[in-house]
Amino acid sequence: MAVMSTNKSDIQVFKDLINAAGAHKSKLRSSLLLMAVSYVFQGLAYAVFYPVFKSIIAKEYEHTMELMWFVAAFFIISTLFSWIANNYDFNGHASEAQYRMRKNLGMQLRRIPMQFLSRRRSGDLAEIISANVEEVTLFVFTVCSVMMMGIVIPVTVGIATLFVDWKLGLAILIIFPAIIPFYRWRKPAFDRGMQYLNDVNNELSTECIEYIQGLPVLKASEGVEKTVEKLGKTVDKVHQVQAYGHGKGGRPNLIITTAVEIGILVILALGILFVVGGSSESIYVIVMMIIVIRFTEVISILVPMTMFFSLMEAGVKKMNALFSVKPLSQPETSAKTESFDIRFEKLSFQYEDSGEYALKNINLHIPEKSIVAFVGPSGSGKTTLTRMVLRYADPTEGSVYIGGQDIRYFKTEDLMDKISVVFQDVYLFDDTIEQNIKMGKPDATPEQVIDAAKRAQCHDFITQLPKGYETKLGEMGNSFSGGEKQRISIARALLKDTPVVILDEPTSSLDSLSELAIQKAIDELVRDKVVLVIAHRLSTIIGANKICVLQESELIEEGTHEELMQQEGKYFQLWQAEEKLAEMV
């Protein structure tokens, strides 16, 4: 659902803002049209003051009263149209449009490759889904209607004045639109400044989130001062950009306001000249002065609204950038398979914006009910290879098969139903322990949750808590030890009970006691499964059915521990290095 085209004209931006309302765009369009009609009648009411004042000067008071009825009628009609138009906000259509847009963005996040999300900072995405959606959907009616008021009322009065005094009418219609070139002249620079301000604000938001979430680690590693210094530099950058932006942004506003004031003086001067020259009546000039002063108020509102319009334009662009990311292709019907062996065939992969391959021509078969470990130096491609099974992104070349079926022929949800992942860094949601475990199987019964917890070696410490399974974990689960969080994560995977399990060395950073408990839980988890292990310590994968050694994105060795030791290749070198490190410790 793209909401922004590549056309940069204000008219196109206006159309795209309307389209951002989604299913409510016809209601928004109708409301803005009604608002425009309201402003037309308001302009006509002002225009009637010409004959009203003329009748007062002529002491034709009965005619004055008749004309005042027209003024009142125009204002009443204008108010009625305005009330009907504002139903877009009053009836909750704006809030509904905001809800739908956030839901559509959420659906898009589910469809696009994880590669895209993992390479974006969380603050950027949070800014789009929260602030940008609100700016674009909630305030579009208010901003657009106020901008229309600054255009429709002066144009209506100008056209009406043509019928009373064509010279004055022509002056109004020529001089007020002359403001537009000033706006167009400054808009590109102003938009660039707004975009830069948006970017640094997003950077600040992201760094604040990372600082708060990482504070315990920073304190432990004495990294607080350095991070605070970095955060301070970002705050300084925001301050500098804001100061620069206010200067640069205030200047065009001042220029436009000055242009409006000069325009008013020019119209008044022309009116006086017309009266002196005998081509206009003085009463018309007096009335025009009153109306033009009213224009000053209208246009003074219009000028700052251009800033909000630019903000909304920037928001739509960012939303469109997210909508424009090509989702993973989905088959109409998902492939079926009764077996779950995994095969990588001539697999090569490049990350986006990278000129180098992260995986090169990988050919590997993993039989059912077998444990395969991936080892190698940092950056060799271990994690990337396991991610390909999850369809983190589609291969640049080659294919990944499960049960003989290319994983691209499975719907994403069906593929995920076949795979469980236990990460080294566990993320637990701010919810109860029971709900965190049930994420593996939302419809699980309490008995099934408890059974999974027992098998994951975490039932005992859960029942010792005052609220048991109803205990809230707190943000990131920081109130629990690393071993306890890991066991809850394994309970989640046990409850899901999938034929394929991916382990990112979940015991690598734990103490011996926690490691023993988690190893028992893992033994329960991997029984009769296809297991892919990202190994950081070689001593934990001696019993694997196959060990695959990766180096510089290529699979260079594979075999059992004994076979690889006999070859005295890369695996042998890694094993010796680990033993030497153990001796030093």
Q: H or E stretch including 128?
A: none
Specify which residues 554 forms β-bridges with.
Answer: 551
- The domain limits of the chain are 11-323, 334-414+528-585
In the three-class reduction of DSSP (H, G, I as helix; E, B as strand; rest coil), residue 467 is classed as: coil
Q: What is the pTM of this model?
A: 0.67
Q: How far apart (Å, rounded) are the C-alpha atoms in residues 467 and 167?
A: 83
- Give how far the C-alpha of residue 572 lies from the chain's centroid of Cα atoms, to the nearest Å: 47
463, two tokens = 């029942």
499, 530 contact by CB (below 8 A): yes
Q: Are 550 and 375 in contact (CB under 8 A)?
A: yes
**What are the φ/ψ torsions at residue 179 (nearest 5 degrees)?**
-70, -30
Strand partners, 432: 472
The helix/strand/coil state of 348 is strand
Q: Which helix (H) or strand (E) holds 139?
A: none
Q: Quick check: helix, strand or coil at residue 502?
A: strand
Provide the token pair at 352: 């986006």
Q: Measured between alpha carbons, how far is 263 from 68 in angstroms, rounded to an integer?
A: 29
> Rounded CA gap, 450 and 203, in Å?
43
Q: Print pLDDT tens along the chain (585 aa).
A: 444 433 356 677 777 778 777 778 888 888 899 999 999 999 899 888 888 888 888 888 888 898 899 999 999 999 999 999 888 777 777 788 888 888 888 888 888 887 777 776 666 777 777 777 777 777 788 888 887 887 888 888 888 888 877 877 787 777 766 666 666 666 666 666 666 666 666 666 666 655 555 554 444 444 445 555 665 666 666 666 666 655 555 566 666 667 767 777 777 777 778 777 776 677 767 777 777 777 666 666 776 677 777 777 777 888 888 888 888 888 989 999 989 999 999 999 998 777 789 999 999 999 998 999 999 888 888 989 999 999 988 999 999 999 999 999 999 889 988 998 888 777 777 788 899 899 888 888 999 999 989 888 889 888 988 888 998 876 444 567 777 888 888 888 888 889 998 988 765 555 555 666 777 777 777 788 898 988 878 877 888 899 999 999 999 999 999 999 999 889 888 888 877 776 665
- Short-list 418, 349, 337, 344, CA closest to 374: 344
The CB-side HSE value for 477 (13 A sphere, CA atoms) comes to 21
3-state helix vs strand vs coil in the chain, percent to 5: 65, 10, 25
If 0-12 CB within 10 Å is exposed, 13-18 middle and 19+ buried, where does residue 69 land?
exposed
Residues 6+ apart with CB under 8 A from 574: 375, 376, 538, 549
For the chain, the C-alpha Rg in angstroms (whole number) is 34
Q: State how beta strands 405-406 and 419-422 pair.
A: unpaired
Q: Among 3.30.470.20, 3.40.50.300, 3.30.1010.10, 1.10.1040.10, what is the CATH number of 334-414+528-585?
A: 3.40.50.300
Q: Which residues contact 271 (CB under 8 A, 6 or more apart)?
A: 168, 171, 280, 284, 285, 288, 289
How many Cα neighbours within 13 Å face the side chain of 567?
18
Tell the residue number behind the tokens 């305005």, with chain if given: 82
The SS3 of residue 516 is: helix
Report d(CA 531, CA 296) in Å as an integer. Answer: 73
- Measure Cα distances from 198 to 125, 245, 368, 477 in Å: 13, 11, 51, 32
Whole-angstrom Cα distance, residue 503 to residue 326?
29
Which of 451, 454, 462 lies closest to 520 in space, CA to CA?
A: 454
State the DSSP code for 560: -
Which CATH entry fits the domain spanning 11-323: 3.40.50.2020, 1.20.1560.10, 2.40.128.20, 3.40.50.300? 1.20.1560.10
Q: Please tell me the distance from the alpha carbon of residue 111 to that of residue 324, in angstroms, as a whole number.
A: 12
What 3 state SS string does 290-337 have? Answer: HHHHHHHHHHHHHHHHHHHHHHHHHHHHHHHHHHCCCCCCCCCCCCCC
> Which bin fits 354, alpha (ψ -120 to 50), beta or left (φ > 0)?
beta
Closest C-alpha to 372, from 526, 160, 194:
526
Residue appearing with tokens 């009965």: 62
CA dihedral sign, ordered 493, 498, 502, 508? positive
Paired with 530 in beta bridges are 500
